[in-house]
C-alpha cells in the first residue's frame, strides 16, 4: 500500500500548487483590477483612513482632517469653507475630489514620491502614513475683501502678485461650502450634491479659472494697445475715432458707449482713446494692425494655452481667421474673444511687471508631517509679453483711465492706480458683464487684479465696468497696499 500512498501524496502536492497559483493570481497578478473595482470599498477606506494633510492659508489650516470614530477615521473639516472653496475644492467619499484636494492629492494623502523618506520614517516608527500640508499663496485678508465685495453677485475675482505670479486671491461667486459634501453619510452627501448641481447659478463652477470663459470687452483694448505700441505707435499717435464707424462688408456700424463722440474732430491720441475707452478708435486701430498682430500679442499674454496653477485653467480663446469687421469687433473684446478672469489678471500683471508675465501659482510650500519642506514653488517667468518701455507707456495710459477716465471709481487717495474698465455685451436682452482690470501702486505694483461681475450684478442693465467692477477692485487694491505696508503680503 506504500506505492499508492506515495502517488496520493503527489496528487496532494498538485492540489496545493493549484491553491498557491490561484492565491498568487488574486493577490499579485489580478490584484490591480480587483483593487480598482468600484465595489471594493477597501481602497476607499484606505485612502480616506489615513491622516490627510491640511491646506493652509496665511499660516492657518483652512482645511484639515479631524479624527472621528467611524470607519473613515478622519473627517475633512473646513473653516470658512465657502470662502476658499474655489481653491481647495471638495473631498467627498461619494464624489471624489476637486480643486487642490484633487491636484495635490498624492501630497495630501502622503503617497507622493516626494514623501518617500517620510513614509519610510513612519513605517519604522510604526506610525500611520501621514500626509503633507499644502500652503497656499492666498492672502486671507484679500480673499475676505474680494468675497465681501462681490457679495451675492455672480462673478469672480483674481488677484496676483505681479512680481512673482503668486495668486493672492481667487474668489468665485456664488460658491458652496465643501463641508456639505465631506460628510460620511452617503445619503446626505448625495442630497446636498444634487441640490448644488440643480442650482441654475452654478455654485460648483470655478468662474475664476474654469467656468465658461467671458468676452473680455474693453479690457482687451490693453492687448490691442500693447500690440500698437510694439508696432511703433506712441501714446500720442493720433487714432481715427469717429462717432460711428462703419464695419466693412456689413451694414452695421460701431458706436461708442452712450453713442458719445470720442473727440470733436474725430481724431484723438492713443492714450486718450484708452482713457475714455473709445470703441471706434480701437476698432479702427485693430483693423489697421491686422488680426495677425493682435493674435500674436494676445498669445504673448497667455491666450490659447491652458495652464496649471496647479488647478487646471481653461485656455482663453481667440477667433479663428476673422475677417475685417470681425477683427474690429475682436479688438473690442467681443466676437469670439474669450478670457478667464485669471487671464485678465495676467494681462494686468504683465503690464505691471515691466512686461514680464510671471507664471501664476497657488501652492507656495509643501511640508511633510515633520515640517520639513518637501517642495517650494520658485517664481518663474512665463512670457515676455511686451517690452519694459511699452509696459511703462501702457501703465501711464492706464493711470490716466483711473485718474481721469472710465475707471475713476478705482481711485485711491495718495496712490497711483492703473486700470482699465470693460463692459462686455452678452446679448440683446441681457445686461453686460462688468469688468475691471488694474494694478497698484502704478510705479511699484504689489497687486494686479481682475474683477468680473456677470450681467451687471445688482445694477443690472445700466452697469458698466467703471460703476460696478471698479469699486470692488479698488477695495481689494486698497487692502493689498495696507497689508503690504504692514508686511503681511
Partner 1 sequence: MATVSELQVRTGRRAEIALLGVSWAIIVLARALVDYHADFLELRTLGIYAAAAAALMLGCHLLLRRYAPSADPVLLPAVLAINGVGLAMIRRIDFGYAQYRGRETAFGDTQIGWTVAGVLLAMAVIFVIRDHRLLRRFTYTAGVVGLALYLLPLVPGLGVTINGARIWIDLFGRSLQPGEFAKIAMVVFFAGYLVTNRDTLALAGPTFLGLRFPRPRDMGPLLLVWAAALLLMVYQRDLGASLLFFGIFLGMLYVATQRISWVVTGVALFGAGAVLAGTIFPHVRARYDAWLNALDPDLYSAGTSEQLVRGLFGMASGGLFGTGLGEGRPDLVPYAESDFIIASIGEEMGLTGLMAILALYLILVQRAFRTSIGVRDGFGKLVAGGLGFALALQVFIVVGGVTRVIPLTGLTTPWLAYGGSSMLANWIIVGLLLRISDQARRTTAEVAE
Residues in contact with partner 1 by the rule CB under 8 A: 1-6, 8-9, 12-13, 15-16, 18-20, 22-24, 26-28, 30-35, 37, 39-43, 45-46, 71, 126
Exposed e or buried b per residue across 455-468, where buried means at least 16 C-beta atoms within 10 angstroms of its C-beta? bbbeeeeebbbbbb
Cβ closest to partner 1, residue 3 vs residue 486: 3
Residues in the chain: 489
Within 10 angstroms of residue 356's Cβ, the number of other Cβ atoms is 20
CA distances from 324 to 283, 296, 327, 376, 474 (A): 10, 17, 5, 47, 36
DSSP string, 361-420: BSEEEEE-TTS-EEEEPPP-EEEE-S-HHHHHHHHHHHHHHHHHSTTGGG-BTTB--EEE
Give the nearer residue to partner 1 in terms of CB position, either 6 or 200: 6
Q: How far is the CB of 161 from partner 1 (least distance, A)?
A: 44
Between 6 and 429, name the residue whose CB sits nearer to partner 1.
6
Task: Identify which of residues 13 and 415 has a Cβ nearer to partner 1 in the complex.
Answer: 13
CB of 119 to partner 1, least distance (A): 14
Q: State how far Cα 182 lies from the chain centre.
A: 23
**Least spacing, CB of residue 109 vs partner 1, in Å:** 16
Q: Is 218 a catalytic residue?
A: yes
C-alpha to C-alpha distance for 127 and 459, rounded to whole angstroms = 57
Distance of CA 51 to CAs 35, 62, 112, 335, 402, Å?
21, 16, 14, 50, 50
Q: How far apart are CA 409 and CA 402, in angstroms?
A: 7
Report in angstroms how near the CB of residue 53 gets to partner 1 at its nearest: 20
Which one, 27 or 244, has the nearer CB to partner 1?
27
Sign of CA dihedral 81, 86, 88, 92: positive
Nine-digit cell at 380? Answer: 518663474
Nearer to partner 1, 34 or 485 (CB): 34
CA distances from 307 to 22, 85, 117, 357, 359 (A): 47, 19, 30, 13, 9
**218, 271, 438, 467: which is the annotated catalytic residue?**
218
Residue 54 CB, shortest distance to partner 1, in Å, is 24
Contact 256, 281 (CB under 8 A): no
Catalytic residues: 218
Amino acid at each position: 500500500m506504500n506505492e499508492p500512498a506515495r502517488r496520493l501524496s503527489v496528487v496532494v502536492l498538485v492540489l496545493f500548487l493549484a491553491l498557491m497559483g490561484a492565491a498568487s493570481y488574486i493577490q499579485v497578478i489580478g490584484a490591480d483590477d480587483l483593487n480598482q473595482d468600484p465595489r471594493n470599498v477597501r481602497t476607499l477606506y484606505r485612502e480616506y483612513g489615513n491622516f490627510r494633510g491640511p491646506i493652509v492659508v496665511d499660516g492657518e489650516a483652512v482645511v484639515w482632517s479631524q479624527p472621528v470614530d467611524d470607519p473613515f477615521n478622519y473627517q475633512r473639516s473646513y473653516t470658512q469653507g465657502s470662502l476658499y472653496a474655489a481653491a481647495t475644492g471638495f473631498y467627498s467619499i461619494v464624489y471624489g475630489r476637486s480643486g487642490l484636494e484633487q491636484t495635490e492629492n498624492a501630497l495630501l494623502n502622503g503617497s507622493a514620491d516626494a514623501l518617500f523618506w517620510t513614509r519610510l520614517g513612519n513605517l519604522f516608527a510604526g506610525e500611520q502614513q501621514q500626509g503633507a500640508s499644502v500652503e497656499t499663496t492666498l492672502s486671507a485678508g484679500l480673499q475676505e475683501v474680494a468675497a465681501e465685495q462681490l457679495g451675492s453677485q455672480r462673478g469672480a475675482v483674481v488677484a496676483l502678485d505681479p512680481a512673482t505670479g503668486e495668486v493672492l486671491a481667487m474668489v468665485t461667486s456664488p460658491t458652496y461650502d465643501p463641508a456639505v459634501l465631506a460628510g460620511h453619510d452617503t445619503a446626505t452627501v448625495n442630497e446636498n450634491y444634487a441640490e448644488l448641481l440643480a442650482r441654475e447659478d452654478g455654485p460648483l463652477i470655478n468662474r475664476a479659472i474654469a467656468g465658461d470663459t467671458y468676452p473680455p470687452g474693453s479690457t482687451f483694448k490693453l492687448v490691442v494697445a500693447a500690440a500698437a505700441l510694439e508696432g511703433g505707435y506712441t501714446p500720442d499717435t493720433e487714432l481715427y475715432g469717429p462717432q460711428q464707424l462703419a464695419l466693412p462688408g456689413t451694414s452695421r456700424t460701431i458706436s461708442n458707449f452712450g453713442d458719445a463722440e470720442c473727440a470733436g474732430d474725430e481724431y484723438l491720441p492713443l492714450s486718450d482713446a484708452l482713457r475714455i475707452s473709445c470703441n471706434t478708435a480701437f476698432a479702427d486701430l485693430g483693423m489697421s494692425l491686422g488680426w495677425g498682430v493682435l493674435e500674436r500679442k494676445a498669445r504673448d499674454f497667455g491666450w490659447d494655452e491652458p495652464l496649471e496653477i496647479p488647478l487646471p485653467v481653461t485656455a482663453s480663446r481667440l477667433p479663428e481667421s476673422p475677417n475685417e469687421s470681425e477683427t474690429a469687433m475682436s479688438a473690442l473684446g467681443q466676437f469670439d474673444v474669450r478670457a478667464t478672469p485669471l487671464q485678465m489678471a495676467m494681462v494686468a500683471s504683465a503690464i505691471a511687471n515691466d512686461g514680464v508675465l510671471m507664471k501664476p501659482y497657488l501652492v507656495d510650500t509643501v511640508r511633510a508631517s515633520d515640517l520639513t519642506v518637501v517642495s517650494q514653488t520658485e517664481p518663474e517667468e512665463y512670457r515676455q509679453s511686451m517690452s519694459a518701455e511699452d509696459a511703462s507707456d501702457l501703465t501711464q495710459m492706464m493711470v490716466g483711465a483711473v485718474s481721469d477716465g472710465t475707471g475713476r471709481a478705482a481711485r485711491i487717495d495718495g496712490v497711483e492706480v492703473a486700470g482699465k474698465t470693460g463692459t462686455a455685451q452678452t446679448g440683446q436682452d441681457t445686461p453686460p458683464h462688468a469688468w475691471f482690470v488694474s494694478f497698484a501702486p502704478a510705479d511699484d505694483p504689489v497687486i494686479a487684479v481682475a474683477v468680473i461681475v456677470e450681467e451687471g450684478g445688482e445694477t443690472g442693465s445700466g452697469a458698466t465696468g467703471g460703476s460696478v467692477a471698479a469699486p470692488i477692485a479698488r477695495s481689494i487694491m486698497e487692502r493689498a497696499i495696507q497689508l503690504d505696508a504692514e508686511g503681511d503680503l
